[in-house]
Amino acid sequence: MSQKRMAPRNSSSVTEFILVGFSNQPALQLPLFFVFLGIYVLTVIGNLGLITLIGLNSSLHTPMYFFLFNLSFIDFCYSCVFTPKMLSDFVSENIISYMGCMTQLFFFCFFVNSECYVLVSMAYDRYVAICNPLLYTVTMSPQVCTLLMFCSYVIGFAGAMAHTGSMLTLTFCDSNMIHHYLCEVLPLLQLSCTSTYANELVFFIVVGVVITASSISIFISYALILSNILKIPSAEGRSKAFGTCGSHVVAVALFFGSGAFTYLTTSFPGSMEEGRFASVFYTNVVPMLNPLIYSLRNKDVKLALNKTLKRVLF
């Protein structure tokens, strides 16, 4: 990767950035390329496969799978925002234009913020299914589900606009080397030659609101679910109830846990390097794992897959 080239300046402003990526050692570029290519292929196949399966099978046209459809759609789009560029950087010049960088930042923030609230909607769906099963059909009507998803995307859009809008106010006139594999807020702030106080304030307010609101909502939902499950007299009933929300708990723990670890790591001075490697988990690995988490132990998905394969093959 070429990392010594400096972008041309126009009125002392950077017009392109260099994404440093993972390693300065040329010998590691090809192995890393194949590792991330494998992760990307599995992510695309898994999420597109789940989207197709849910779309083709009427037995999966329920609120839970409607939310899962949207989660897979977000994970697919999310990985497509930066992975193709990251892969090309392993084998060619790792240059991205200023507008390309801002576009990548916007869509990255949009899909991450939206996923947080899709996970909240899924937690609410499990709460209604377990705590108010008799009212489930009425409470989780198609109109309610559509409204929840619409709100998730609107909030995601608002957060992305806040991050990107504040970033567009900055001037970059010194180094143009982003010490990351994508255009992220904190690595970009380090390159600005103007004050970043307002941007940092926007970043921590938006991230704080998103994480706090979604975490509290999910925690309350599962606290009520747990309380309700513990009241079930039979062990079989409790096991079945736990089984309906186990996959979601794992997905939430992976997404929020890895994201929180990444941002906590990068908050400390001189820890951007560790944060870059930590972010691989929630940007690359989690979108790959979600389809597996929701399908491997899911009888409905397995049954739908068997029916679809029989229709296609026979």
Q: Is residue 290 part of a domain?
A: yes
Q: Is residue 104 part of a domain?
A: yes
Looking up tokens 């494998």 gives: 38
Q: For the chain, which ranges sit under pLDDT 70?
A: 1-12, 23-25, 264-275, 314
pLDDT at 12: 45
Q: Is residue 171 part of a domain?
A: yes
Q: Interior CA angle at 281 toward 32 and 225, to 5°?
A: 155
Q: Is residue 6 part of a domain?
A: no
Does residue 252 sit in helix, strand or coil? helix
| C-alpha to C-alpha distances, 256 to 96, 132, 137, 300, nearest whole angstrom | 29, 27, 29, 26
Q: Is residue 50 part of a domain?
A: yes
Q: Is residue 67 part of a domain?
A: yes
* Residue 227 lies in domain: 16-313
Q: What is the CATH number of the domain that holds 99?
A: 1.20.1070.10
pLDDT at 266: 61
Q: Is residue 11 part of a domain?
A: no
Per the structure, the count of domains in the chain is: 1
Q: Is residue 286 part of a domain?
A: yes
| Residue-wise burial string across 2-13, b where 16 or more C-beta atoms lie within 10 A, e elsewhere | eeeeebeeeeee
Q: Is the dihedral of CA 170, 176, 177, 180 positive or negative?
A: positive
Contact (Cβ atoms closer than 8 angstroms) between residue 48 and residue 76: yes
